[in-house]
Structures are given as structure tokens and as C-alpha cells.
């Protein structure tokens, strides 16, 4: 499907027609977790409107604590996300994955390719090497995270 796996451009592309709540997003993400993994939760959250953490708010659901990432990197990622969300007009950012260099692979119909692991009883996404990037969701609040339609 041409143009599916590309960056969305708010100046040229239509706005997403669908949204998802944070609760529904965590339900979807939790279905992909191994059987004994901790459920998806916010691990770092900022109070909106303070000098240190201005609007838009940022929320980490990737637990970076205990990993080899500095607090300066965390704050830098948050700053970039806030600036981009503000530029587009969003008020909320969910940081799903910190800096990583893998990306999901998609079928022609836009669905993510998966593989079943019989030992763990879970599905995992088929991934390939990519440039370093972060994975985020943006929207107008935790109850209205925007979702791109597969054919945009």
C-alpha cells in the first residue's frame, strides 16, 4: 500500500479520522506481552503547565529505569516530543518506546506482520533494522490519542 509506512505530514495529509483512549491502547499492548510480564503502565508523567514541564504533557509507558539511558536523554526526548506535538497542535504525548533501531514490518493491507511463539504462547511483531528513532502516540489528551487509518 503506497505511503502507508511513512511519516504523517499535517500540512499535506488529512487529519486522522480515528482516536483511541489510553485504556484501550494499554489493553491492545498488554495482549502482546508475555504471560508473566507486568501490564502496561505510565512510568514517568509530568504535570502540565509548569515551567519545567510545559504543555503538551508527556507520559512514558516504556520503563527506561534500569536501562542504559541517561536522564538527559529522557528529558531531550521529552523536549523533542513536546515541541513536535505543539507544532502540530496536540496536547498529549505517549512515549511507547525509547530510542531503538528496529521497525515493524507490514503486509500489503497495512497490518503488522506477526509470528507465533508456541513456547510462550504469544505473538511478536516481525521487525527489521531501522534508523534510531522513538515510538510515540500523540493526541488531545489521554482519552483522545489520534490513530492514522491504514490507507493514509
In this structure, what C-alpha cell is assigned to residue 113?
A: 506482520
Per-residue pLDDT tens digits for 1-60: 333 445 566 677 766 667 788 888 888 888 877 777 777 888 777 655 566 656 788 888
Whether pTM > 0.75 for this model: the answer is no
- Count the Cβ atoms, other than its own, within 10 Å of residue 61: 20
Closest by CA to 17, choosing from 151, 149, 150, is: 149
Q: Is 93 in contact with 134 (CB distance < 8 Å)?
A: no
d(CA 57, CA 97): 16
What is the per-residue pLDDT across 107-134, written as a single tens digit (0 to 9) for each?
Answer: 888 788 999 989 888 888 899 999 888 8
Amino acid at each position: 500500500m503506497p505511503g502507508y509506512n511513512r511519516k504523517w505530514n499535517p500540512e499535506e495529509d488529512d487529519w486522522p479520522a480515528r482516536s483511541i483512549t489510553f485504556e484501550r491502547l494499554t489493553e491492545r499492548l498488554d495482549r502482546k506481552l508475555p504471560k508473566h510480564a507486568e501490564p502496561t503502565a505510565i512510568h514517568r508523567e509530568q504535570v502540565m503547565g509548569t515551567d519545567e514541564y510545559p504543555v503538551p504533557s508527556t507520559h512514558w509507558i516504556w520503563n527506561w529505569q534500569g536501562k542504559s539511558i541517561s536522564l538527559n536523554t529522557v528529558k531531550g526526548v521529552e523536549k523533542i516530543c513536546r515541541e513536535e506535538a505543539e507544532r502540530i497542535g496536540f496536547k498529549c504525548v505517549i512515549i511507547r518506546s525509547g530510542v531503538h533501531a528496529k521497525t515493524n514490518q507490514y503486509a500489503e493491507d497495512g497490518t503488522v506482520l506477526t509470528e507465533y511463539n508456541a513456547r510462550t504462547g504469544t505473538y511478536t511483531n516481525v521487525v527489521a533494522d531501522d534508523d534510531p528513532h522513538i515510538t510515540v502516540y500523540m493526541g488531545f489528551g489521554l482519552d483522545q490519542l489520534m490513530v492514522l487509518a491504514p490507507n493514509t
